Amino acid sequence: MPDPERILTDDMVAAIKAYFPRYPSRQAVTLPALHIVNAELRHVPLQAVVEVAELLELSPAQVQDTLTFYGFFKQETAHGEIRAWVCRSVSCHLRGADEVLDHFCDQAHIKPGETTGDGKLTIEYAECLGACEHAPCILANETLHKCVSKEDVDSLLQSIK
């Protein structure tokens, strides 16, 4: 009978185990495992860290060290269904990223790092997204929005509602 306290589903465990043959050690699977959990839960709670550690034959502290090294993973609360990264590096900055970010946050009624009350959107800062020639850029989940104007932000918000 499944343990009701467990967070990792059978599918998550299978997806993590599928990485084992592709890496030289189980420890090397830590980051892919965290991404698998995050993709499902939109955060990686402590209980998930404990279960990932068990699977990888590591201590929870080792997995937690990796998790906290990257700002990417949230632990306390889930990020929104859409996680929008607004680039603030130099090319985007010079082409109006600050105004885009301010407008985005104003219209969504949140600050950078926060999630809307309906859980649909999280807005965050990003460093260079690797598309400087299209500055300013927003990465919303897997979609890169290029040469973003305030009107584009309005359209993006409309599509999220």
Binding site residues, ligand FES, CB under 6 A: 87, 89-92, 128-132, 135, 137
Give, in order, the Cα–Cα distances in Å from 124 to each of 72, 119, 138, 156. Answer: 10, 14, 10, 15
If we measure between CA atoms, which residue out of 34, 153, 52, 31 comes closest to residue 103? 153
Tokens at 41, concatenated: 């839960």
In whole angstroms, the minimum distance from the beta carbon of 28 to ligand FES comes to 29
Q: Looking at beta carbons only, is 54 or 127 nearer to ligand FES?
A: 127
In whole angstroms, the minimum distance from the beta carbon of 18 to ligand FES comes to 32
Please give the sequence-ordered ranges of beta strands (E in DSSP) within the chain, or none if there are none.
82-87, 121-126, 138-140, 143-145
Q: Looking at beta carbons only, is 12 or 135 nearer to ligand FES?
A: 135
Q: What gap in Å lies between CA 60 and CA 9, rounded to an integer?
A: 18
In whole angstroms, the minimum distance from the beta carbon of 151 to ligand FES comes to 19
In whole angstroms, the minimum distance from the beta carbon of 146 to ligand FES comes to 9
In whole angstroms, the minimum distance from the beta carbon of 99 to ligand FES comes to 14
Q: Looking at beta carbons only, is 13 or 105 nearer to ligand FES?
A: 105
If we measure between CA atoms, which residue out of 35, 104, 53, 114 comes closest to residue 78? 114
Nearest 10 degrees: CA dihedral of 131, 35, 117, 158?
40
Q: Looking at beta carbons only, is 41 or 126 nearer to ligand FES?
A: 126
Q: Looking at beta carbons only, is 15 or 129 nearer to ligand FES?
A: 129
Amino acid, res. 100: V
